[in-house]
A and B are shown apart, each in its own frame.
Chain A
Amino acid sequence: MFLITLFFIVAFFAFIGALFLIFHPKTLPSAIGMAVAMVSIGFLYLLLHFPFLTFVQIILYAGAVMVMVGYLIMSQGFEEYGKEVSLSQTISSYIIAILFLFLCSKAVSKSFLSRFEKTYDDFGSIREIGISLIKNWGVPFEILSVILVVAMVSSVILAKRSLK
Chain B
Amino acid sequence: MSITPYILFAFFLFSMGLIGVLTRKSAILVFLSVELMLNSTNIVFLTFARCFQSVEGAIFVLFILTLSAAEAAVGTAIVVSFIRKQGNSNIDSANLMRW
Listed in ascending order, the chain A residues whose CB lies under 8 Å from chain B are 3-4, 7-8, 11, 14-15, 18-19, 21-22, 27, 30-31, 34, 37-38, 41, 44-45, 48-50, 52-53, 56-57, 60-61, 64-65, 68-69, 72-73, 76, 78, 80-85, 89-90, 93-94, 96-98, 100-101, 104-105, 108, 113-117, 119-120, 123-124, 128-129, 132-133, 136-137, 140, 144, 147-148, 150-152, 154-156, 158-159, 161, 163
Contact = CB atoms under 8 A, between A and B. Distances in A.
Given A48-B46, A69-B28, A82-B92, A158 B36 contact: no
Contact of B4 (A21, A50, A81, A113): A113
Interface of B: 1-9, 11-20, 22-26, 28-29, 32-33, 35-36, 39, 42-43, 46-47, 49-51, 53, 55-56, 58-59, 61-63, 65-74, 76-81, 83-84, 88-90, 92-93
Q: Is chain A's interface secondary structure helix, strand, loop, or mixed overall?
A: helix
B59 A124 contact: no
A16 to B, nearest CB: 11
B46 A72 contact: no
Tell which of A57, A148, A159 has the most Cβ of chain B within 10 Å: A159
A115 B4 CA distance: 9
Q: Which 3 pairs across A and B sit closest by C-beta, in order of nearness? A: A93-B22, A151-B70, A155-B77
